[in-house]
Amino acid sequence: MKPEDLVFSTLMLPLLGAAIALCGKLIHSHKRIAKSFEYSGAIIGLALPWVALILLGQQVLRGEIITGVVGNWYSGVGISYQFDGLSWLIQVLGFTIGLVAWIYSLGGGPKGPAFTTIFLIQTAALAATIITTDLFNLFVCLEVMGITSYVLIPTSKKPGASLAAFSYLMVSASAMVFFLLGTYGLYRITGSLSYEGISLGLKIISPQNQMIAIVSCTLLVSAVAIRVAVMPLYGWLPDAHALAPHAVSAVLSGVLIKTPLFALSRVLMLFAQGPEVGQLMSIAGGVTALAAVIIALSQKDVKRLLAYHSISQIGYIVSAWGMALQFGLETETGLFLMIGAYLHALFHALFKGLLFLSVGTTIDATGQRNVYVLRGAIGLLRKAGERVPITFFTFLVGALAITALPPLNGFVSKNLITYGLNNSYLYYLLISASVGTVASFIKLGRIFVPGTNTKPSRIKRIRFRSRWVAQLTLAILCIIGGFWTPTVIEIVAKLLAPHQHMVLTAPELYTTDSLLKTLWITFGGIILYLLIQTAPLKKALTMIRTRPRNFKGLFVSFSLGTAALALWLLV
Amino acid sequence: MVERILLLLLFMVGFWGIVGKKHIIKKIFGLNILNNAAVILFIVEGSRIGTNAPIMEQTGSSIVDPVPQALMLTAIVIGVCITALSLALAVHLYKISGSFDIDTIRLKVQDEA
Amino acid sequence: MTTPKTFKQFWGLFTTLLAIFSIGAVLLPIFLNAHPWPTAARDYLAMRGNTDSGATNLVSAIYLGYRVFDTFGETIVLLVSVLGTMGILTRVESLVDASSDDEHTIGTVSGFSLSQEKRRSHTLRTHLLEVVTGKIGPIVLLFGFYVMLYGHVSPGGGFQGGVILASGIIFLALGNPQEGSSGISNPEILVRIETVAFLILVLVFFSGFFMGNGFFGNPLESTQVPVGYIVLLNAIIGLKVGTSIGFMCIAMMGGGY
């Protein structure tokens, strides 16, 4: 099989699976036949691509990059694509979380052929976004990803979910129109839509067209930045991720906010202003990490707390990614930071998915979402049918991972990032955010502590088997990521920069320094948690939680953010 | 030149509709106008380099640029799909809250969430 | 607009104007740019577009030949939006049925209804409307098929023809005097055609792989009629778009699903 065909099979197989699962919807009479259509669609779409990924993995590890034009048409008009190490890594991320979340949805989430179809289409769109090197194709792939999210969020049947989906739709669809205008600007001055054509064209443009290039770049970056939810563009995310069904929250937080970021890195390499954009994004990322964790501390709904944490962790990833672009991937520091950014994206997807699924099981079993009210969840889960406290175990693994305690994977990735940043002011921002993370997870962990609920809880007996499979898989992957660190780092390094000639040795992560730092951060987190029990801080946090948020704010922040980026690049 | 200024004004009107109006259906109008302004910009500007439609009846005729037209076919269909989905969401929001005003809806659903 | 009295009103107005002006300032250079439009793509396509793909309509050659991947993405967006819209509307309909007496019952969803009970009572459904649309329906369908199948030689194609097909389907549904709507405006049949059309579309794209040209390549490239691929794709896309949009509109008018 030709390598080009293998590349496209990772996205055509989920689409074929979606078409088959959709046929299951037509058959109303025999439930069994309909279900077999749906399940075979899911197997074709989520399990078979792994064969292709393993075969492709061998090729990219050797350093080969597969490029070409879709359908072998003329490259000036056709759609070009590129499959390299970065594409492989992101597709592995997407398919892992997709498979696990779908297994969870068999027991706990929305069921039915329509859900499976849309879920498979979303997975295919993720695979397509990261291999494309054509601006308009990136627009179409981002729109497909977006529309599947707008449709999947209201399937949880909560009233707030429709409003969340509506706000997300409005903001994202308008952002994509700005993306289209950026494409217009670049096509006008370079005559091409593919990245190669644009970069060739940008080298020969006249100085007065430089401004058009910069403004187009601004529009492209800010349209993608809405999807990635850095400050100040984060407003849609807490509602959307908190009110979606649990399996969908896991995929949204785990994969859909990261793929556009890495697709953007391909675009930014075309522009001479790429490093400056990286610099601004890294500052925004650092501020996001700290601000979001403070807001997370104030939340009382468990899933909303996790959603704000997603924003904070994406701040980590964006700041590492931004600085990597600023230094450039040819330098050692730049490559190092990009490895840290990717690993944190992968590990965050694993432990955040794990947390959403575990907390989701707890919510379904106990019927309570308020973190101040819910207590003794282990006992309540036992009454709902879980004899061995598996959900508590998986929650513990996720919480230890996100607070970066060794030997779990969060420790590895967070320390890689802070090691790479080395005493710049970003370093201090991220360390403070880590302290906040520890404090808020102590707060969240209290739901499992034995105690009496202030409100009577409605225990539901729920089906646990598929939830256990999904949760345990993610927990095992988190633990493996922590133990096999040097291998993982070397593989990722070879994939991200296949032509580097320097030997990148994995830094020693278990030094006394880093362990002491972890100890201090944990200690600081415990103190912070005790402090927020006091009255004045409690009042401050309540004020933060009830701050006015409205629809218009999303757009005002988008406009101001875009204008700020444009100003930053022009002066 | 005049067309470009008019299109910029049209775009701003659409954006104002989304941001400044409180009625949900008017916001959806605004999104539609925004989309259409971008589409018309592509087509009008792409048509400046030729005089005939891009159908090759005889060779040597000076045709307009067909690439923006093909791209905008895609953009128009995507715009229609988004409008349909947003209208369905608007109907649902009206049904559960009784109003089309976005601030009222936000207050009502926050109580119930 | 009266002069804002309270601080809240003033703040609201101020933020709106701030947003509009900042975006306007950013977009000004893009919209007013006067750089001559690039001709490279047009020149290549004028020379080779017909021979590469076999179609004389170059726009069809682009969106069903060179950039067929984008068209596929667009079809998928349509599929997802129809699934989503129908999912939300069925939920609204069940809410309406459950509480059909209070003031929250909106006239919109079941208002212009095609279902027998409500049909006669709605004031807009006049006899004139039903007769005219019922008679025009088949003619519009025929025109839609023409536009769809001749897309490679004249302006038209799958999407344009599909939308005209959808209008034809809606006309037939509106003009149908008896219940148990016959043939093409029956929602069950529309859903079946749409699903099967999507499956065939995916299989057609797979066929390029089996014919050795890679996914999305033209499997008929080495035969006498490479343009057959474009005609086939136009037909499938037209059916899919027509039945999707027709089904969605019939559902929005309250026609039972």
pLDDT tens figures, A266-292: 888 888 888 888 889 989 999 999 999
Instruction: Test B89 with A143 for CB contact under 8 angstroms.
Output: no
Q: How close C30 comes to chain A (CA, Å)?
A: 6
Whether B94 has its CB under 8 Å from any CB of chain A: the answer is no
What residue numbers bound the domain in which B51 lies?
Answer: 2-112
* Residue whose structure tokens are 């401050």: A540
**What's the pLDDT tens digit per position in C172-202?**
888 765 554 566 777 788 888 889 999 999 8
Q: Could you give the residue ranges of the DSSP H alpha helices within chain C?
A: 7-32, 40-53, 58-61, 68-98, 107-111, 116-119, 127-149, 158-175, 187-210, 227-252
Report the distance separating Cα A475 and Cα A100, nearest Å. Answer: 11
pLDDT of residue A529: 84
Chain A: partners with 3+ C-beta pairs within 8 Å: B, C
Radius of gyration of chain B (CA): 19
Instruction: Test A551 with B31 for CB contact under 8 angstroms.
Output: no
Q: How close B39 comes to chain A (CA, Å)?
A: 9
Looking at this protein, which amino acid is placed at residue B53?
A
Q: How close C212 comes to chain A (CA, Å)?
A: 9
Domain count, chain B: 1
Residue C202 in tokens:
């995916």
Of A545, C94, A160, A242, the residue nearest B112 (C-alpha):
A160
Q: What is the mean pLDDT of chain A?
A: 86
Of A108, A113, A104, A115, the residue nearest A34 (C-alpha):
A113
Write the secondary structure of A209-245 as one string of H (helix), E (strand) and C (coil).
HHHHHHHHHHHHHHHHHHHHCCCCCCCCHHHHHHHCC
Residue of B56, B57, B80 to mutate, testing the C interface (most C Cβ within 10 Å of its Cβ): B56
Instruction: Test B27 with A162 for CB contact under 8 angstroms.
Output: no
Q: How many CB pairs under 8 A join A and C?
A: 188
Q: Which of C39, C203, C208 sits opposite A71 (nearest CB)?
A: C208
Whether C49 has its CB under 8 Å from any CB of chain B: the answer is yes
Whether A136 has its CB under 8 Å from any CB of chain B: the answer is yes
Looking at this protein, which amino acid is placed at residue A76?
G
Q: Which of C34, C81, C106 sits opposite B95 (nearest CB)?
A: C106
Predicted TM-score (pTM) of this structure? 0.93
* Residue C108 CB contacts under 8 Å (≥ 6 apart), including other chains: B91
Report the distance separating Cα A302 and Cα A310, nearest Å. Answer: 13
* Rounded (10°) CA dihedral A295, A301, A303, A305: 20
Instruction: Test C216 with A70 for CB contact under 8 angstroms.
Output: yes
pLDDT of A376 > 70? The answer is yes
Chain B: partners with 3+ C-beta pairs within 8 Å: A, C
Instruction: Test A77 with C67 for CB contact under 8 angstroms.
Output: yes
Contacts of C80 in chain A (CB under 8 A): 118, 121, 144, 147-148, 151
Kindly tell me the number of DSSP H helices and DSSP E strands found in chain A: 24, 2
Report the distance separating Cα A382 and Cα A390, nearest Å. Answer: 10
Whether A446 has its CB under 8 Å from any CB of chain C: the answer is no
Q: Highest mean pLDDT: which of A483-492, A553-562, C125-134? A: A553-562
What residue numbers bound the domain in which C66 lies?
Answer: 56-253
**What's the pLDDT tens digit per position in A29-87?**
778 888 888 899 999 999 999 999 998 888 888 878 888 888 788 888 889 999 988 89
The kind and range of the H/E element at A313 are helix A302-327
* Residue A540 CB contacts under 8 Å (≥ 6 apart), including other chains: none
Instruction: Test A140 with B81 for CB contact under 8 angstroms.
Output: no
Which portions of chain B are predicted below pLDDT 70? 58-60, 111-113
**What's the pLDDT tens digit per position in C114-128?**
555 555 556 667 788
Nearest-10 crossing angle of helices B66-97, A135-152: 10
Buried b (16+ CB within 10 A) or exposed e, A502-525: eebebeebeeeebeebbeebbebb
Q: How close B26 comes to chain A (CA, Å)?
A: 12
Report the distance separating Cα A529 and Cα A438, nearest Å. Answer: 8
Is the omega angle on the peptide bond into residue A14 within 30 degrees of 0, that is, cis?
no
Residue of C33, C45, C51, C203 to mutate, testing the A interface (most A Cβ within 10 Å of its Cβ): C33
C residues 141..170 contacting B (CB < 8 A): 153-155, 157, 159
Looking at this protein, which amino acid is placed at residue A381?
L
Q: How far is CA A30 from CA A24, A25, A37, A58, A161, in A?
A: 10, 11, 11, 43, 32
Whether A169 has its CB under 8 Å from any CB of chain B: the answer is yes
Contacts of A174 in chain B (CB under 8 A): 15, 18, 31, 34
Domain count, chain C: 1
Q: Is residue C227 part of a domain?
A: yes
Q: Highest mean pLDDT: which of A333-337, A457-461, C36-40? A: C36-40
Q: How close C72 comes to chain B (CA, Å)?
A: 10
Q: Which of A71, A187, A563 sits opposite C68 (nearest CB)?
A: A71
Q: How close B107 comes to chain A (CA, Å)?
A: 10
Q: Is residue C11 part of a domain?
A: no
Contacts of C213 in chain A (CB under 8 A): 71-72
Instruction: Test A559 with C30 for CB contact under 8 angstroms.
Output: no
pLDDT of A393 > 50? The answer is yes
Q: Which of A136, A150, A212 sits opposite C29 (nearest CB)?
A: A212
Q: Is residue C35 part of a domain?
A: no
Q: What is the mean pLDDT of chain C?
A: 81
Residue C234 in tokens:
């136009």
C229 burial via Cβ count (<10 Å: 0-12, 13-18, 19+): buried
Domain ranges of chain A: 273-527
At residue A225 the predicted structure's pLDDT band, cuts being 50, 70 and 90, is very high
Contact C240, C197 (CB under 8 A): yes
Contact C64, B68 (CB under 8 A): no
Radius of gyration of chain A (CA): 23
Instruction: Test C19 with A117 for CB contact under 8 angstroms.
Output: no
Report the distance separating Cα A130 and Cα A411, nearest Å. Answer: 27
Q: Which of A160, A173, A551 sits opposite B110 (nearest CB)?
A: A160
Searching chain C, which residue's CA lies closest to the CA of residue A145? C77
Is the omega angle on the peptide bond into residue A507 within 30 degrees of 0, that is, cis?
no
Report the distance separating Cα A129 and Cα A142, nearest Å. Answer: 7
pLDDT of residue A125: 95
pLDDT of residue A262: 92
**What's the pLDDT tens digit per position in A6-41?**
888 888 999 999 999 998 888 777 788 888 888 999
Of C207, C213, C130, C216, the residue nearest C175 (C-alpha):
C130
Length of chain C, in residues: 257
Q: What is the mean pLDDT of chain B?
A: 89
Whether B19 has its CB under 8 Å from any CB of chain C: the answer is yes
What's the CATH code of the domain at B23?
1.10.287.3510
Instruction: Test A151 with C87 for CB contact under 8 angstroms.
Output: yes
The DSSP result for A479-518, as a single string, is HHHHHTHHHHHHHHHHHH-TT--S--PPP--S-HHHHHHH
Residue of B4, B10, B18, B24 to mutate, testing the A interface (most A Cβ within 10 Å of its Cβ): B18
Whether A177 has its CB under 8 Å from any CB of chain B: the answer is yes
Looking at this protein, which amino acid is placed at residue B69?
Q
pLDDT of C103 > 50? The answer is no
pLDDT of C107 > 50? The answer is no
Whether A203 has its CB under 8 Å from any CB of chain C: the answer is no
C residues 216..245 contacting B (CB < 8 A): 241
Chain C: partners with 3+ C-beta pairs within 8 Å: A, B
Q: Is residue C39 part of a domain?
A: no
Contacts of A70 in chain C (CB under 8 A): 68-69, 214-216
Whether B34 has its CB under 8 Å from any CB of chain A: the answer is yes
